[in-house]
Amino acid sequence: MNTQTEDPVEIASKSDSDTSAVVVFLHNKGGLTFDIVNTTRSKSAVLEHVKWILPPAPVIPVTIRMQAETRAWFDVRTSESMADPAPEKEDEARILQSMATIDALLTKIVASGVDPSRIVLGGFSQGGAIALLTGLSTSRKLAGLIVLSARLPLRHQFRSMVSSHASSIPIFWGHGTADTAVSYELGRAAADYLVNEIGVPPAPYPGAPEGLDFHTYDGLPHYISDEELTDLASWLGTILPQ
């Protein structure tokens, strides 16, 4: 069993010498996908200066898959489809370890010369959850966060984890109404919690480069749609201008 994370996959900007911004994107339970990079790039020519970094999760046994080993940022011990697991059912140790791994990656990116204000951190499903937790607790104020079809783990202790600048980080949040893996209601409740309890303001308009920009996709299951990527590309263009 490979419980150690491997080196991230890096997809250079169209002109690597002109790289001035980075998107770190975390995959869902199961493995890497490059589709989001290629499709998002095709949606907007203004993102050619952006480098993408795709870190792989470790391979671990997953309880709800009868201990089958797969890439996952943390174990899933009970269904997450309709409600957050009870605190004792959360894999707190692996969640915190994954957060530390991503925070160390951010440290490395900043050390390479990229300012935190030019870094967007995001992910899909489990990846979105880890991106959200890390992005709102790290000491660095990032350019923005991407949360796709995800929930908020460790909510019972999250308030004590958030950084002083958490409420001022722009967040793009997309979720489909037909999601049966992480229900739309669960994602919506997590977003509302950030607004009502953490003080993250709602975006003043769709696509705004400020606040929590929540997008609802009617009929979309646990998947990233073409419409969602179009919206995401537009948002990224405002968050990471050339």
Q: Let me know: does 144 contact 169? Beta carbons within 8 Å.
A: yes
Each domain of the chain, given as residue ranges in start order, spans 9-239
The answer as to CATH 3.40.47.10 being correct for domain 9-239 is: no
Could you give phi then psi for residue 139, rounded to 5 degrees?
-75, -15
Q: Are 38 and 135 in contact (CB under 8 A)?
A: no
Paired with 213 in beta bridges are 172
179, 213, 215, 231: the active-site residue = 179
pLDDT digits (tens), the chain, 242 positions: 444 457 788 887 766 556 689 999 999 988 766 667 777 777 766 788 899 999 999 999 999 877 889 899 999 888 766 777 788 889 999 999 999 999 999 999 999 999 999 999 999 999 999 999 999 999 999 999 999 999 999 998 999 999 999 999 999 999 999 999 999 999 999 999 999 999 999 999 999 999 999 999 999 999 999 999 999 999 999 999 98
Q: Is 98 a catalytic residue?
A: no
Considering only CA atoms, which of 223, 199, 222 is closest in space to residue 212? 199
Per the structure block, which two tokens stand in for 154? Answer: 């460790």
Identify the DSSP state of 202. Answer: B
CB neighbours (10 Å) of residue 24?
Answer: 25
Task: Express each pLDDT in 54-93 by its tens digit.
Answer: 999 999 999 987 788 989 999 988 876 677 778 888 999 9
**From 27, 91, 222, 231, active-site residue:** 222
In the residue annotation, 179 being an active-site residue is answered as yes
- pTM over 0.85? The answer is yes
Chain-centroid distance, C-alpha 117: 16
Cα 109 to its chain centre, rounded Å, is 17
Active-site residue, 165 included: no
